[in-house]
Amino acid sequence: MPSMDPFTHLGDFEIAPIIELLDPIDIIRLQRVSRTWYRLLTSEYIARIALISHFPRTAEAVEFRESLPNPHSVVLPYRRAAYRFHTRRLGLPTRVHEVLLDCSDEASIEWDAADGYAAWTSHEDRVLRVQSLEGDKRILLALDPLCLEGGAVKMSDLVRARMNVQMGKGLLVVTLNFYDSPMDGYGFGRRALILVFAIPSARLLWKLPILLPQRLLGEVDFAQDRLTYIRKTPIAQNRATLHFVAHNILTGETLLETELERSSEISNGDQFFVMVTDRPFKRLIILHEDTDALPSLWGPVFVRVFSINDGPPGRLLAKYDLKHSPFLGNRFGDRAFVESDLYMDYPPKGEVFWIVESCFVFIDKRPPQPPCPGHPAPCTCTYDSDTDTAVAPSTVSFSAWSVQPNPTAPAGFEMVHSIYRSTIDEGKDFQRRFRIPIDDAAVPAVPATVPPAAGVAAAAAVGAAVGVVEKKETFRDRCQRFEIFLPEEQCSATFYNVKPSGDAGAMRRFRIDVGSYRGAGVGTGGERVMVQSGRMVVRVAGGGGRAWRCVEGGVVEVRGEVFNEFLHGVQWSERHLALRTRWREEGRVVAAIVVFDFGCLW
């Protein structure tokens, strides 16, 4: 009896449940089986089912939902989303861009990369630079004349100003922050000047000073065609009212200014204050630390969700306590430590806010100290219990919280906690070997004339009398790795230091792995548990530049070093992985922006 192709007897509605269970790449591979399979699997209906089921919060899915009730074709958009998913999971970027930075003050470079351009400036010279990722043409613009015009800002303010650079929607926003006292900061607020430029011409569109007694809290944000921020106005000691303000991003016209409900309860936030708005401009979320709640230095972290046009503007919709302080490390007994920091984002998709930990792991691994005179057991006198270990932990855990609408919840929202268990790879994460100085590795030598049973006191006396020190050169294997998570895509980027063979001197480089995660049930506290299912090193077919190179197998190595403040040098988005690195070359420090593009070229 001849074989029968089941697809010739199944329609789109019967195939749809199967599509939801297939791997996104398999849907494309199966299109090559026959003309019948190609016709069915490239139909508009199947493409919509595949896009919404596998990539519900991608930019392609958002554009499809926004096009309703007259939807556009999603066959090609689905292939683009699947391409990104596949290349990112395998660690195979389509292109790598490099932009060398010409700022002399390398430690204070502020930067951003988006929409095919990179922009940066330095606190030292305050010159804005804009360059296309595809070419070498660079635009330079001095910020001082623009800031001093109008008299709201003085030159003495600019000298000590700290800047922030943000790009998006073909625009560039530079915020100059002026700290008048040691108490000023992201949590307490500060004077500021906001400058909005067009890209790529770097033409100033408008500017806005925020002057005392009003203060800027956190940083500005983009939502649709609006620039938004939180403005603080003191009303009493340690109390203030907070207003949410929105401007037309092209003209600077004020579109909305509303007081946030119960904003006087938000304390001065000793360490941080973060605000983001959703893209439909319905809600905003604030992440802050309450230093009044505890007498200690670190307080609990609160999450507050407010309405923009989801009801009366400024109404408090929900409040959550993360019970987490990102500045306190998680220690593995006396073996190693992990530092974490929080970042928050509302990707341009769906209605879910994400609050995510980054994870920095530092482990020094070396054998236990040998016995020394005066101690009956292995000596621990010089043992640094914070960093030294003979056995590394197998995994480290970090968290992500999603805040999303839930009609059945009392507040209409729920916060879902997920724990991600990341694997410590002995073969990858401990590639760097550090030489311990001879003096630090010195071991007092016990003469052979002292019998083992002579006792501790006798051994100590002979050792002190002889005064002989046996100096041995020893090494320690060091793990310094930083991991940043992209929760919508269930993947992460891990940066870890290496010293490749063939490098002379103290040349420092690091590699990048893309990690994938899968569900592993529910934890004891009801949180979702995700475990790492694989790590793929980032590879390209060839090429390189001053900041990166390809080694054996196409593995990418970037010049520089991973450290605990690496979060400020990394941007991990739906399509790009961008980082800023620096290294020493010929006696001077060189910095660069490297962008890995996982998107397709069509």
DSSP per-residue letters across 67-106: HTTSPPP-HHHHHHHHHHHHHHHHT--SEEEEEEE--S-G
Q: What would the 3-class secondary structure string for 275-344 be?
A: EEECCCCCEEEEEEECCCCCCCCCCCEEEEEEECCCCCCCCEEEEEECCCCCCCCEECCCCCEEEEEEEE
Sorted by where each starts, the structural domains of the chain and their CATH numbers stand as 1-102 (1.20.1280)
Distance CA 270, CA 253 (A): 32
Helices and strands (H, E) in the chain, number of each type = 10, 35
Q: Report the candidate in 98, 116, 90 with the shortest Cα–Cα distance to residue 548.
A: 98
Distance CA 48, CA 354 (A): 25
Q: How many CA atoms lie within 13 A of 464 on its CB side?
A: 7
Distance CA 389, CA 385 (A): 8
pLDDT of residue 446: 44
Category of 599 on φ-ψ map: left (φ > 0), alpha (ψ -120 to 50) or beta: beta
The stretches in the chain having pLDDT less than 70 are 1-3, 104-107, 183, 185-187, 267-272, 290-299, 323-336, 347-350, 366-393, 433-476, 500-507
Contacts of 438 (CB under 8 A, 6+ apart): 471, 473
Q: Give how far Cα 50 sits from Cα of 20, 60, 96, 179, Å.
A: 6, 12, 29, 51
pLDDT of residue 268: 59
Distance CA 532, CA 480 (A): 19
pLDDT of residue 323: 67
pLDDT of residue 57: 78
pLDDT of residue 27: 93
Q: What are phi and psi of 467, to 5 degrees?
A: 70, 25
Evaluate whether 548 touches 539 at the Cβ level (below 8 Å).
no
Q: What are phi and psi of 575, to 5 degrees?
A: -110, -35
Q: Give how far Cα 459 sits from Cα of 374, 413, 447, 462, Å.
A: 7, 69, 9, 5
Evaluate whether 144 touches 127 at the Cβ level (below 8 Å).
no
pLDDT of residue 587: 80
Q: How many CA atoms lie within 13 A of 541 on its CB side?
A: 3
Judged on CB neighbours under 10 Å (0-12, 13-18, 19+), 493 is buried
Strands 528-537, 413-423: pairing kind: parallel
**348 DSSP assignment:** S
Q: What is the pTM of this model?
A: 0.84
pLDDT of residue 513: 96
